[in-house]
Structure 1
Amino acid sequence: MAEEVRAEMVANVWKVLVKVGDQVDEGTELVTLESMKMEIPVMSEGSGVVKEIAVDEGDVIQGGDLIAVIE
């Protein structure tokens, strides 16, 4: 079953740390967001393969926006 990783808040995408095809484990940092001068890591909640990265570095995202899909 695919895991959709979504933004919890409005933020800037500061770093994308994985690419499509990467194997990730629970707790792997996928992207780093920046909001109000704070860095916020976004972690995988499970293990799997990155099937989609829906953001690019520099994007501004809203709460609920898709960040990645892990399958």
Structure 2
Amino acid sequence: MNQVTATMAGSVWKIVIAVGDRVEEGQDVVILESMKMEIPVAAETSGIVKHIHVQEGDFVNEGDVLVEIE
């Protein structure tokens, strides 16, 4: 199981995938908002989205798990 983690502290602005979706390495899965900037967070590996740990509007810290991909 591979984990996609937050690259910086911020709010979850948009989740662009759903559980069961197939994602490719480098594909954006979550967009964070920090200091009025949108920061895309990409999958580091290809696979199937197994779990989404956050909801839009949640605040996350750097290193928090956002999504699990299998």
TM band (smaller chain) = over 0.9
Q: Which residue of 1 aligns with 2:57?
A: 58
> Structure 2 stretches of 5 or more lacking a match?
none
Partners of 1:42 and 1:8 in 2: CA distance? 7
**Where does structure 1 differ by over 2 angstroms across 4 or more consecutive aligned residues?**
none
**How big is the shift at 1:23?**
0.4
Q: Which residue of 2 aligns with 1:28?
A: 27
The root-mean-square deviation of aligned C-alpha atoms, in Å, is 0.7
- 2:9 equivalent to 1:13: no
> Structure 1 stretches of 5 or more lacking a match?
none
Percent identity over paired residues: 53
Residue type of the alignment partner of 1:35: S
Partners of 1:45 and 1:63 in 2: CA distance? 16
Partners of 2:7 and 2:28 in 1: CA distance? 15
The count of aligned residue pairs is 70
TM-score scaled by length of structure 2: 0.95
Partners of 1:43 and 1:58 in 2: CA distance? 18
